[in-house]
Structure 1
Amino acid sequence: MRHYETDSASAAGRLLALCMVVDGNLAPAELRALQRSRLLEFIDIDIDTFHDLLSDLCHDMLSTSVKHEHVVLDIATIDALLGEIHAPELRRELLRAMWIIADADGVLADAEARLLARACAVWSAESRFVKQEAQELAQD
């Protein structure tokens, strides 16, 4: 996997792209959810740049599949991608958007669940705030 600067739009955009393709299927509902989340505006990238990041991610994933015979992202790789995001507010916004994207097609695939669980574990402090906000919204 290529490396992006810490807290960069590219690092954040790649995590959104990963959330969309980690289950092996890019659903149109996930793209609509991304647009509704307005996270691309938050990280200041346009849709064309996001598509480039998505393409680069798929290329990187396919290039590693030659070694593994199928596309596999191990925990170390996922942790490295998550580790490129340090800013607490960016982590919270990404985690919120990743949940929205993963849930957009009505199916939480095992690979999506693993990615989200790992993000919650690696970004534990920020995941607590996202959970609290979701509970507060549910009570309103």
Structure 2
Amino acid sequence: MRTYAVNSPQAAGRLLALMMIVDGNLASAELQALQRSKILEHIDMDAAEFQRLLQELCDDMLTATATLHGAVQLSNPVIDSLLAEIADPDLRRKLLHAMWKIADADGWLADGEAVLLTRASNAWSAETNFHRHTR
């Protein structure tokens, strides 16, 4: 997998893209949820750049991950390394909120989505400021 600068639009966008494809299916409802969330505006990324990032993620995953029944199988260390590229507590909160909206959009929480959301919640909630702002 490529590495991106911490808190960069690319690091944040990749997590959003991953949320959309980790179940092996890019649903139009997920794209609509992404648009409604306005998260791309927050991370200063336009739709064309997000599409390029999504393609790069798919390319990386074809060479670096396994699939099972069409769903992407990422190892926990890979997921954790992607999550570690986001350090800002405010950005973490906004991304996690958008990731949940994307996961909920198609009315089905796939195993891969659940794993990604759980790992993000666990890794990012260890941040003291995260707890303080979510209450």
Question: TM-score of the superposition, structure 2-length normalised?
Answer: 0.90
Residue 128 of structure 1 and its aligned partner are, at CA, apart by 7.2
What are the Cα deviations for residues 51-107 of structure 1, in whole angstroms up to 9, with x where unaligned?
Answer: 001000000000114xx4754210000000000000010000000000000000000
**Of the two, which has the highest radius of gyration?**
1
Between Structure 1 and Structure 2, how many residues are aligned? 129
Question: TM-score of the superposition, structure 1-length normalised?
Answer: 0.87
CA contact (8 A) 2:73 2:112 kept: no
In 2, distance between residues paired with 1:20 and 1:69? Answer: 15
In 2, distance between residues paired with 1:5 and 1:73? Answer: 21
- Could you say which residue in structure 2 is the equivalent of 1:138? none
Q: Is residue 2:36 matched to residue 1:36?
A: yes
Mind listing any 5+ residue stretches in structure 1 that lack a counterpart? 133-140
In 1, distance between residues paired with 2:96 and 2:85? Answer: 14
CA contact (8 A) 2:34 2:102 kept: yes
In 2, distance between residues paired with 1:127 and 1:25? Answer: 32
Cα gap change, 1:108 to 1:128, in 2 (>3 Å): farther
In 2, distance between residues paired with 1:9 and 1:53? Answer: 10
In 1, distance between residues paired with 2:113 and 2:92? Answer: 17
- Relative to total residues, which structure has the larger helix share, 1 or 2? 1
Residues 46-57 of structure 1 correspond to what in structure 2 (within 5 A)? Answer: 46-57=46-57
Mind listing any 5+ residue stretches in structure 2 that lack a counterpart? none
- Could you say which residue in structure 2 is the equivalent of 1:20? 20
- Could you say which residue in structure 2 is the equivalent of 1:135? none
In 1, distance between residues paired with 2:112 and 2:73? Answer: 10
Task: Find the residue that maps to 2:100 and give its secondary structure.
Answer: helix
Output the aligned Cα RMSD: 1.5
What are the Cα deviations for residues 113-139 of structure 1, in whole angstroms up to 9, with x where unaligned?
Answer: 000000001101437744x4xxxxxxx
Q: Which amino acid aligns with 2:10?
A: S
Q: Which amino acid aligns with 1:87?
A: D
